[in-house]
Structure 1
Amino acid sequence: MTPPPKLTLSEWADENRVLSAESSAERGRWRTSRAEFQRGIMDAITDPKAHTVVVRKPAQVGWTEIINNVVGYFVDRDPASILIMQPTVKMAETWSKKRLTPMLRDTPCLRGKIKDAKSRDSDNTILEKGFPGGYMAIVGANTPNDLASRPIRVVLADEVDKYPASAGDFGDPLALASSRQATFWNRKTLVGSTPGDMRLSTVERKFQEGDQRHYHVPCPHCGHRQVLRWEQVVWDKDETGHKPETAHYACEAPDCGTLWSDAERWRAIAKGEWIATKPFKGTASFAVSGFMSPWLTLEGIVSKFLAAKDFPHALRQWVNEVKGEAWEERGEAADADALASRLEAYDGDTLPDWVRLVTAGADTQDDRLEVTYTAWGDGEEAWVIRHDVLPGNTAELAVWDDLDRALRDSVFTIEGGRKLKVRAACIDSGGHRGAMVLSFARARASRKIYATKGVGNDHRGSKPIWGKALLKTKNAGDRLWAVGVDTGKDDLAARLRIVPGEGPTPKAVHFPATGLSADYFEQLTAEQAVMQVNQDGRKVRRWKLKQGQERNEALDCFILSHAAMLSLPVRLVKAPRRTGVPVEDATAEHEEVAVEAAEEQATPVAQPKLRRRRAKWKGYS
């Protein structure tokens, strides 16, 4: 009858928990000292003064194992009704099978307390677990009936930024689950997630509601306590490029500035402590960064940053999953006057030497066609050449003949005399002229002229700028290709923030002093990103016309021209121009490189065709 000794969650884990081979790279006895920052988070769960614990975290910091420790503690030491929430039912089943079951099997104090899901016991299934003194329900945040059907004392909410905005018609899933705890004086809620967009992030909002604890570590040399920040990571760079293998952490103390190695950083983390920056009112909130992880090196962190920094979506993922911070867009809608001040002295006959190809994007209106010609260089650097308006009733053939001649006969000149023609073009099939666009593209498929349809992002994520075929009619040969317009506009917004330099500037966009209409930049910046709730109650980010704006053809044409570039086998990001190649041979050489890369990944059926194409380009060069 002697009550068990009181243990904090970290003490219980150190004494009892065993990591399983299926779910951990470091199997065996759990050691909180392996990642010392986890101690404060876990002990806040068993702190009687805290009813809610919020963790804003990156990837690879042992978060799932913390959830497992919480489950094991309550099953073993403090039986209660427990609700584990995952974003979807499928993710809930995966956690139950791949994480929970191995822990129950390999941790001695838990073994046998919950029957195997395969046993003939209705109290124990994949998503329902009964144990002496309590039970466990594992649910998806998209299943309102599971969230509202039972009293719950302990709620564990995982990856809340991936939850739908509403569980059916019942409202916020997290609020719905929390309402089940109202009758428990000793309720506990654990909320954690890798953050997403700043304006939508649930974990960011919950973190701000708490006491906002940050982890302070002492400098191994001067003892100054500081929060690990990305701004203090330094590395070398020379004429050959960045050297991430030289990355170190610089002490922020003005009179120190000593560079820490990874080993010194990890030793400093072992001596760190959590310090709250706001008053405590029952919610303990923690900000975890990837720089605190013993499984990440500074070289790896810097390498990931260098690979992502020029690509908005990759950089956003790096900020979320390495820094552990919410992504905040700045200046999403570019300023038209600022862009107009960046005009450069070039045209279709004086493009720079490092231009590699030209594409076009055409927008269809009832009384005209509008088309933008864009040149592309290494690093996906773009030069808008001109924007043409072809007037005429698009229900008749005359204006389409004009477009055909323009795409076929337009020739652009690179410095040094090299000539380029339009390699690919995308034409929007939206509006009233879909049949005309399909017919036009079908007859010119060999010239890589594509009929396209814009698709927006949804709750499942971003759509690729150049997507899959949406329509495939076997007899007629029609193809309608998806273009991720929201993704393309996100990408363009990031590009427009890059000011072109004198030499090659990856991802930059250049504009000519001639060939653009007076309202071209007004059209290019006519939209802004807004958050909307779709029919499923999920929040999605969409681009919409600004108030008072009516025309956005220049914006649509640039996105279509970008999609046309991505449709080609040449990958401008991965195939930088080789030095020493004659100007007149550069296009042939790059095409050969692209074909060789495509052949390596092609199916056996496609390989002979690719080999013939490569031989053709070798003959030209």
Structure 2
Amino acid sequence: MLTSVTSAEAGRWRTERTPYLREVMQALSAASRVERVVLIKGAQLGGTEAGLNWLGYVIHHAPGPMLLVQPTVEGAKRVSKQRIDALIESCPALSERVKDPRSRDSGNTQLMKEFPGGVVILTGANSAVGLRSMPVRYLFLDEVDGYPGDADGEGDPVALAMQRTVTFINRKIYLCSTPTIKGFSRIEAAYLESDQRVYEVPCDHCGQYSPILWRDIRWPEGRSEEAAWRCPHCGGLHPEHRKPALLAAGRWTPRAAGDGKTAGFHLSSLYSPWLTWAEIAQEHQAVKDDPVRLKVWVNTKLAETWEDRDGESLDAEGLMARREAYGPAAPASVAVLTCGVDVQDDRIELEVVGWGRDEESWSIDYKVLWGDPSAPQLWDELDAYLSQRFAHETLAQGLAIEAACIDTGGHHTLSAYAFCRGKERRRIWAIKGGAGKKPIWPKRPSKANKGRVSLFTIGVDAAKEAIYARLKKVGPGPGAMHFPLDRDAEYFEQLTAERIRTRYVKGFPQRFWWKPDGRRNEALDCRVYAYAALHGLLSMGLNLNRRVEALPQAPAVRAQTVGQVVVATPTTPSPRRRMAISSNYI
């Protein structure tokens, strides 16, 4: 049973809404000889819901010990409260077997659900204790590409969890996830070991079966709302309203022999009953020029890994040649200013960044405040700087810095805490960097520090990946990064100082950021902190594009190159040119 808490379509589960999940769930049943089921999927497809159906089936029909693993313990608690408890309460067959958690000795807690003949244990991949708690017959690994590379120093969490099932000859393992980066994606690696099934649908015109692929989604130029699937065999078009019939008549076709024990299923969001081809096409049009957002689209909509060139370096000289003639006033397209502050032994370095539509950015100012960070004078100077307004091309009152992130994780930590204390209303935030799979901005701060301040642990790896991807983008547009003429060679050397490298921990690859000895990276750190400050504002409800739309209109500019310097000059509006026809247009 689906409840309104967990689903947009409350009521009894109907497999005909997602016919592609029928074979997935059959493979999870006790009647199937398949030992491991792998689902590499996009968004809005019901993959996790299929796993919860399996959980209900285990409780009702094939009891035994089961372990359900989420990326974090907090995530496991949330799934337990919001989804599993709702599932049990809404289904009489399950509520009869799992006692009310309010009754004494019910065996029903947030991370454990006992029932006749078995138990469901929930844990996070970041908890080695939870992963080696007990032998289990059933193992549900949800969103495995979100797991950390190492669980409390005891090794790969997937390997630890798998070890719990070795004593059961009739074990069943379900791995379900959206993929991430090629070569580091656990779900892709598991799928490649399987028989690699794809879901094929029959053409209305020629009857040939084919998978629904992005390259076959077509629409008239400028009318992505009319996106349709084109048969790759005969070219016949199938509009959106034909999707339910196509899915109902579809079939799974293996593309490899596999290991004989693993059934692998690949599903992109193009099959989703809740996402139209038009919506997916429109989202692609919005993100295709921004590598950061395009990566998310490829992962979550196409269910494909993003190929990242490991160790690729950026050319500092090439970036310097792309400097532009703007300033000292912020360009007319800038709607929000943030600041990143890096604290060193004898100075404070900071960068003010202006943000425009789709996170296009302009470096507004880079400053070094020399002095002793253990003395109050330097912090007073920083306070005065953060309080000033910056000139703007079209706003007479200029712009203020709306948020600033102050690094407290390195030098003069207590002094940085003292400066940030009491300034949260001004959105001057104390931060420290956290490596690994962390979001750029955390859901909540911690006060477990000597300064008793709200301390935000930001995901520096994710921020650096976003910045480096956008530095490779040439020209204006979503995510583009602009730099003024006064940025010197040292600035660009620092901005590109680090590299992504791969190391193997207990046989498993892990990505990490490496800085050569002797290289400085303060400019990169300041940009990371300024970007994190933007994400802090976004978490508070800032709509960046709407803020841009509210700016006063300014004359359009045309970029031209003078030597190796890009110069922006006013120009008169020209008629909108017809969009070039791409491979996705009919």
User: For 1:352 and 1:228, how far apart are their aligned partners in 2?
Assistant: 44
Q: Partners in 1 of 2:165 and 2:198 — Cα distance?
A: 28
Which AA in structure 1 matches 2:225? Answer: E
Q: Is the 8 A contact 2:341 2:406 kept in 1?
A: yes
Q: 1:337 to 1:221 in 2, by over 3 A?
A: farther
CA-based RMSD of the aligned residues comes to 4.9
Q: Indicate how the Cα distance of structure 1 residues 498 and 283 shifts in structure 2: closer, same or farther if over 3 A, else same.
A: same
User: 1:141–1:173: 8 Å Cα contact kept in structure 2?
Assistant: no
Give the number of the structure with larger relative contact order, counting CA–CA contacts within 8 Å between residues 6 or more apart: 2
Q: 2:87 is matched with which residue?
A: 99
Range with greater deviation from structure 2 (560-569 or 520-529): 560-569
Q: Which residue of 2 aligns with 1:267?
A: 245
Aligned mates of 1:187, 1:322 — CA distance in 2: 31
| Deviation of 1:348 (Å) | 2.8
Aligned to 1:230: 214
- The structure-2 alpha-carbon separation of the partners of 1:302 and 1:437, relative to structure 1 and needing over 3 Å to count, comes to same
Task: State the TM-score, normalized to the length of structure 1.
Answer: 0.69
Q: 1:149 to 1:346 in 2, by over 3 A?
A: closer
Quote the residue 2:493 is aligned against. 522
- Deviation readout 1:109-144 (Å, 9 max, x if unpaired): x796x364469896964534444xx43433325566
Counterpart CA distance in 1 for 2:483 and 2:166 is: 60
Between 307-316 and 359-368, the greater mean CA deviation after superposition: 307-316
1:90 pairs with 2:77: yes
CA contact (8 A) 1:529 1:541 kept: no
Following superposition, the deviation at residue 56 of structure 1 comes to 1.6
Amino acid at match of 1:86: V
| Structure 1 segment 38-49 matched on structure 2, within 5 A | 38-46=21-29, 48-49=32-33
Equivalent residue, structure 1, for 2:342: 363
2:35 to 51, 67, 78: 51
SS in 2 for 1:215: strand
Equivalent-residue separation in structure 2 for 1:61 and 1:129 (angstroms): 29
Per the TM alignment, residue 283 of structure 1 is displaced from its structure 2 partner at its CA by 1.1
Query: Once structures 1 and 2 are overlaid, which stretch shifts more, 56-65 or 387-396?
Result: 387-396
Aligned to 2:315: 336
Deviation at 1:492, TM superposition (A): 1.7
* 199, 205, 209: which one aligns with 1:215: 199
Q: Say yes or no: does 1:498 pair with 2:477.
A: no
Residue 83 of structure 1 aligns with an amino acid whose one-letter code is M
Report the counterpart of residue 455 of structure 1 in structure 2. Answer: 433
Structure 1: distance between partners of 2:184 and 2:208: 36
Q: Is the 8 A contact 1:429 1:453 kept in 2?
A: yes
Contact 2:440–2:535 (Cα < 8 Å) also in 1: no
Q: Give the direction of change, closer, same or farther, for the CA distance of 1:345–1:543 in structure 2 (3 Å limit).
A: same
Q: Is the 8 A contact 1:466 1:563 kept in 2?
A: no
- How many Å apart are 1:271 and its aligned residue? 2.0
CA deviations 1:356-383 (Å, max 9, x no partner) are 5666545343344444454444444323
Q: Is 1:555 matched up with 2:524?
A: yes
Is 1:576 the equivalent of 2:548?
Answer: yes
CA–CA separation in structure 1 for the residues paired with 2:380 and 2:16? 73
8 Å CA contact 2:65, 2:119 repeated in 1: yes
Q: Percent identity?
A: 31
Shift of 1:93: 3.6
The SS at the match of 2:525 is helix
Q: Which runs of 5+ in 2 are unaligned?
A: 556-586
1:341 to partner: Cα distance: 5.7
Structure 2 CA distance for aligned equivalents of residues 130 and 405 of structure 1: 63
Cα distance change of structure 1 residues 209 and 357 upon mapping to structure 2, 3 Å threshold: closer
In 1: Cα distance, 2:450 partner to 2:347 partner: 28
Gap change, CA 1:401 and 1:93, over 3 Å in 2: closer
Q: After TM superposition, give the deviation of residue 518 of structure 1 in Å.
A: 2.4
Greater Rg, structure 1 or structure 2? 1
Query: Does the CA contact (< 8 Å) of 1:85 and 1:158 recur in 2?
Result: yes
**Counterparts in 2 of 1:379 and 1:272: CA distance versus 1, 3 Å:** closer
**1:464 and 2:433 equivalent?**
no
Q: What is the one-letter code of the residue matched to 2:179?
A: P
Question: Of 480, 485, 501, which residue of structure 2 is paired with 1:508?
Answer: 480
What CA distance in whole angstroms lies between the structure 2 residues aligned with 1:540 and 1:75? Answer: 36
Deviation of 1:187 (Å): 3.2
Q: For 1:83, what is the secondary structure of its paired residue?
A: strand
Q: Contact 2:340–2:533 at 8 Å: present in 1 too? A: yes
CA distance, structure 2, for counterparts of residue 393 and residue 40 of structure 1: 66
TM-aligned CA distance change 1:339 to 1:420, over 3 Å:
farther
What is the CA–CA distance in structure 1 between the aligned matches of 2:385 and 2:12, rounded to whole Å?
71
Whole-Å Cα distance in 1 between the matches of residues 385 and 79 of structure 2?
55
1:551: Cα distance to partner? 0.1
Q: What's 1:587 paired with?
A: none
Name the counterpart of 2:301: 322
Residues 310 and 500 of structure 2 are in contact (CA less than 8 Å); yes or no, is this contact kept in structure 1? no
Q: 1:389 to 1:69 in 2, by over 3 A?
A: closer
Aligned residues of 2:149 and 2:510 also touching (Cα < 8 A): no
Q: Distance in 2 between matches of 1:35 and 1:518?
A: 56
Return closer, same or farther for 1:452/1:339 CA change in 2, 3 Å cut-off.
farther
Paired with 2:426 and 2:5, the residues of 1 have a C-alpha distance of 48
How many Å separate the matches in 2 of 1:440 and 1:22? Answer: 43
Listed as ranges, the gaps of 5+ residues in structure 1 are 1-17, 584-621
Counterpart CA distance in 1 for 2:33 and 2:456 is 57
Checking the alignment, whether the CA contact within 8 Å between 1:216 and 1:225 is kept in structure 2 is yes
State the distance in 1 between where 2:416 and 2:2 align.
Answer: 59
CA contact 1:441–1:451 (8 Å) conserved in 2:
yes
- CA 1:283–1:566: 2 relative to 1, 3 Å: closer
Shift of 1:224: 3.7
Letter of the structure 1 residue corresponding to residue 120 of structure 2 = A
**What is the CA distance between 1:50 and its match in structure 2?**
2.3
Change (3 A) 1:272 1:365: same
* Higher alpha-carbon deviation: 115-124 or 58-67: 115-124
Aligned length: 540
Residue 610 of structure 1 is matched in structure 2 by none
CA drift at 1:194: 3.2
Distance 1:182 1:343, change over 3 A: closer
Give the SS at the match of 1:245.
Answer: helix
- Measured after TM superposition, the shift of residue 526 of structure 1 is 1.3
Q: 1:196 to 1:376 in 2, by over 3 A?
A: closer
| Contact residue 88 and residue 95 of structure 2 kept, 8 A | no
1:572 Cα offset (Å): 3.7
C-alpha separation in 2, matches of 1:297 and 1:563? 33
Which of 258, 282, 288 is the aligned partner of 1:280? 258
Shift in alpha-carbon separation, 1:511–1:157, aligned structure 2, 3 A: closer
- Displacement after TM superposition at 1:286 (Å): 0.9
